[in-house]
Amino acid sequence: MAGRPDGGIGAVLAYHASTKHSPVSIRSRAHFLDWANKPHPLKAHAGLERVPLPDDVPSLAVPALEAIGVTSVDASAPGPDLTALARLLVVGAGVHHTVTFPGGELIHFRNYASAGALYPVEVYVVCAALPDLPAGVFHFDPALHALTRLRAGDHRGHLVRAAGSEAFIARAPVVLVLTGIPWRTGWKYTERGYRHLFWDAGMILANVLALAASAKLPARVVLGFVDSHVASLLGLEERHEVPLCLVPVGLEESGGGRRDGGTQESLVRGRGAVPDRSRVPGDPPGERRRATARPRGGCPVARGLRWVARARRVWPGGCIASG
């Protein structure tokens, strides 16, 4: 949307007007589901190391209303370890149970609501070295409750640079990255499916923010960043998967050392962050397999993607920041 006189607002309004429901649009628009080309709901990476998450994650016995009512925490708890991270991922976005329907359709129901049970949102972890987990970039497998290592080493500086030196990301030992796969929802909801990426992501965020609050971990939703920089770190093919938001979790001491020997100053400056996919260090060997069906003749959501402005900001109303 760069270069538009209105900053892209006109394109956003046009997309909104063209994809909103009305009695006329519902009756006049015929769309038939291509069941043979239904997208796979789970993403997999072939041949990469998996880190199992703990099976027995203890409950913190915090009442739900108390957890969702928290607006700030004092960051008195230590940064998340592997068990705390597992609680955020498994309880916040993991598979709850699997049902086989007549005809053989298998649906992996998760711990959050999703339109049409299509689950188009993926979760990644970018972290410093944590207790029981080395620094790296990981993809969360919601069915196996495991992390797949995509890159070794501390790459948080890449996210800091992509987000314009956002302080919460610079000081967080863990950053969750939520991405959306438009074809998973566009298969059913066509151009309107682009909206569903953010609705589904919001359901995950509600879980993660409440879980972080119950563990006294500061967390914040960051929406302002350079999409292509984040995509390059995660190895995304942006025609098929796009970054939606960043969620820094935990708070390291200001000016303190990174666990791999670096400094917070190097993180803020984004040392080692690079804009193009080919130069990101630590690329894993072998090809990555994305277990998603591809649209035939072009994804119907692509037109919506082209219409929507990408300008974003930090969302102050949806955060659990340090007090």
pLDDT tens digit sequence for 199-213 = 999 999 999 999 999
pLDDT of 176 above 90? yes
Could you say which DSSP state residue 257 is in?
B
Consecutive H or E run containing 126: strand 121-127
Q: What is the mean pLDDT of residues 4-21?
A: 75
Query: pLDDT tens for residues 71-89?
Result: 667 666 667 999 999 999 9
Determine the pLDDT at residue 74. Answer: 67
The angle, 0 to 180 degrees and rounded to 10, between the axes of the packed helices 193-214 and 182-189 is 130
Determine the pLDDT at residue 77. Answer: 63
User: Could you tell me the two tokens for 236?
Assistant: 């995304």
Q: What span, in angstroms and rounded, lies between the C-alpha atoms of 23 and 229?
A: 41
Query: pLDDT tens for residues 114-168?
Result: 888 899 999 999 999 999 999 999 999 999 999 999 999 999 999 999 999 999 9
Query: pLDDT tens for residues 122-136?
Result: 999 999 999 999 999
Phi, psi of 314 (to 5 degrees): -70, 130
Mean pLDDT of the chain: 77
Query: pLDDT tens for residues 230-284?
Result: 999 999 998 899 999 999 999 886 544 444 334 444 444 443 333 333 334 444 4
Phi, psi of 305 (to 5 degrees): -60, -40
Determine the pLDDT at residue 48. Answer: 94
Q: What span, in angstroms and rounded, lies between the C-alpha atoms of 33 and 116?
A: 12
Determine the pLDDT at residue 18. Answer: 77
**pTM for the full model?**
0.78
Determine the pLDDT at residue 127. Answer: 97
Query: pLDDT tens for residues 36-68?
Result: 888 888 898 889 999 999 988 888 878 777 777
Determine the pLDDT at residue 9. Answer: 83
The residue among 135 and 303 whose pLDDT is bigger is 135
CATH superfamily of 9-322: NADH Oxidase (3.40.109.10)
Instruction: List the chain domain ranges.
Output: 9-322
Determine the pLDDT at residue 278. Answer: 33
